[in-house]
Structure 1
Amino acid sequence: MPGSSGSGREGGLLAGPPGWRLAPEGAAVFESERVAVVADVHLGYEWARGSGGDMVPEHSLRETLARLDRLLSRVSVDRLVVAGDLVESPSPCPRTFRDVALLASWLAGRGVSLVRLAGNHDGRRQPPLAESLEVGGWTVAHGHRPIPGPRVVFGHHHPSLRAGGISAPCFLFDDRTLALPAFSPNAAGLDVGTAPLPPAFLGKPLRCVAGAGGEELLDFGPLDLLRGAIAARLR
């Protein structure tokens, strides 16, 4: 399944839907509004696992900051929008609260404000998190519920492309839809090559752009053709 580097590459970013550029770190950047959007960060993954008796080393904040540091070396933005699931568990957790505060402080030190949208893992808050945000005529939301609007950006499904024992987080997009990969490496992905697709992906001429080791994106072309090629190989 050969991929290509695609067109419109600049500064390590790849052209996506109108107005958007895609970064290997898993962010979509709307440069004219100086906004980067990510989804499914899942801070506190280790603390949530620990509450169930698993022993998982502390790592999610460190990995998140390292990935954001690479992203901010490529782009200059004023806002980082997390399109839902900034945290792993809706249960109150002082260590997760601390990690969220440290993330916000780290971003503020770089002149970037953190904007949170509601996801299915974020739980109830007072005041509640906003469900959506408009960026350049696109509605950004988590995607666990239907999103009203003609052009939408969402996460939730954790799309990834699996081949040869490797799972690569991927973007799926057309001119009206942009599905984001999970920003967390802990989030198990939906295999877009072989798994049944959710309604948000059906009937759309989506392209698949997958990460390649964190430094590059590869354009695998139309998703329907990619799924057909994979199915033919598996027969």
Structure 2
Amino acid sequence: MKTNEIYGAEIVDSALLIKDCLIISDIHLGYEYALNREGFMIPRFQYKKIIARLKEIIGTSNASKIIVNGDLKHEFGKINKQEWDEVMDFIKFLKEHFDEIILIKGNHDNFTGFIAEKCDLEVYENYSVENYIIMHGDKIPPDFEEMKENTVIIGHEHPSIGLRSGERVEKVKCFLNGKVNDKNFIVMPSFNFITEGSDCLQQKTISPFLKDVSLGDFEVFAVENFEVMNFGKIKNLLNIKI
């Protein structure tokens, strides 16, 4: 197995590539607007960075299909102007670069179906690619036990790993992979650049798939600027004293 592969899926920065299918998760367009409303003066830099990074990824892959695995936009109960402008422009960008676009519903996507309809797209609860089933991970589908795919790909968790040196902690986005019952699981990092995510060494999981699972035997693949670093199992990292 290559050092940048998990269960046959290739890690490309914060995306996964399965043959000609690119998968990204948890973009949260409009997040700066929501933070501004709460009093955090965050400049609106994220969208340009998302587009720039995605262009780099497209340049290194032969993907003709893209799957957005939930939380395309940030606000739960409405669409703010920043979200509307950015989502519409983002879908236009995707249509210019991919033959097929798959949107999977996340827990922030109450209005994404309306946006998708305007753009002649559909929103799916989950989507199968070969022997992989892709879903956001915020809920367990009622027919999950009947699904035949061996590998489940979820987002929702926004995993990162905290690299510690004395009192200083530097977070790096990461993929997690391991077994849950008889299924392989891949947990994807977020494809946004405002926060790195939740430290998998310190914070509790939020997906119902992982709620009662010990993550000690899960592996950590940290990613930064297209570099992939296999940090080994979580249980071994927890024993490291710095």
Query: If the TM-score is normalised by the length of the shorter chain, which range does it land in?
Result: 0.7 to 0.9
Name the counterpart of 1:192.
Answer: 200
Cα distance, 1:194 vs structure 2: 2.8
Equivalent position amino acid for 1:226 in 2: L
1:179 is aligned to: 187
* One of 77, 97, 101 as aligned partner of 2:88: 101
| Alignment of 1:76 onto 2:85 | no
1:84/1:118 contact within 8 Å kept:
yes
SS at match of 2:172: strand
Tell me if structure 2 keeps the 8 A contact 1:23–1:29.
Answer: yes
Match of 2:128 in 1: 134
Write the distance in 2 (CA, Å) between the matches of 1:120 and 1:38: 16
Residues 196 and 48 of structure 1, relative CA distance in 2, 3 Å threshold: closer
2:215 aligned with 1:206, yes or no?
Answer: no
- The aligned counterpart of 1:153 is 153
Asked if the contact 2:102–2:124 (Cα under 8 Å) also holds between the matched residues in 1, the reply is no
**Which whole-Å CA distance do the structure 1 matches of 2:64 and 2:137 have between them?**
24
Contact 1:20 1:30 in 2 (8 A): yes
**Separation in 2, partners of 1:42, 1:96:** 9
Give ranges in structure 2 of 5+ residues lacking alignment: none
For residues 157 and 58 of structure 1, what CA distance do their matches in structure 2 show?
23
Deviation at 1:67, TM superposition (A): 1.1
What is the RMSD of the two structures over their aligned residues, measured on CA atoms?
Answer: 2.2
C-alpha offsets along residues 171-217 of structure 1, whole Å, 9 cap, x if unaligned?
011371110001112245221123344563425642110013x1301
Distance 1:65 1:73 in 2: 12
Judge which range, 48-57 or 96-105, deviates more. Answer: 48-57
Q: Percent identity?
A: 23
Distance 1:197 1:61, change over 3 A: closer
Mark the CA change 1:113 to 1:63 in structure 2 (over 3 Å): closer, same or farther: farther
Classify the secondary structure of the residue corresponding to 2:34.
helix
Candidates 218, 224, 229, aligned match of 2:235: 224
Match of 1:168 in 2: 172
Distance 2:65 2:134 in 1: 13
Larger strand fraction of residues: 2
Q: Does 1:57 align with 2:43?
A: yes
In terms of mean alpha carbon deviation, does 133-142 or 184-193 score higher?
184-193
> Unaligned 5+ residue runs, structure 1?
1-6
SS, match of residue 102 in structure 2: strand
Distance 1:139 1:59, change over 3 A: same
Structure 1-normalised TM-score?
0.82
User: Residue 9 of structure 2 contacts residue 16 of structure 2 at CA under 8 Å; is this kept in 1?
Assistant: yes
Q: Letter of the aligned partner of 2:132 in structure 1?
A: W
Q: Which segment is superposed worse, 136-145 or 153-162? A: 136-145
Say which is worse superposed, 158-167 or 50-59, in terms of deviation: 50-59
CA contact (8 A) 1:158 1:187 kept: no
Contact 1:77–1:112 (CA under 8 A) maintained in structure 2: no
Q: Report the Cα offset of residue 112 of structure 1.
A: 4.6
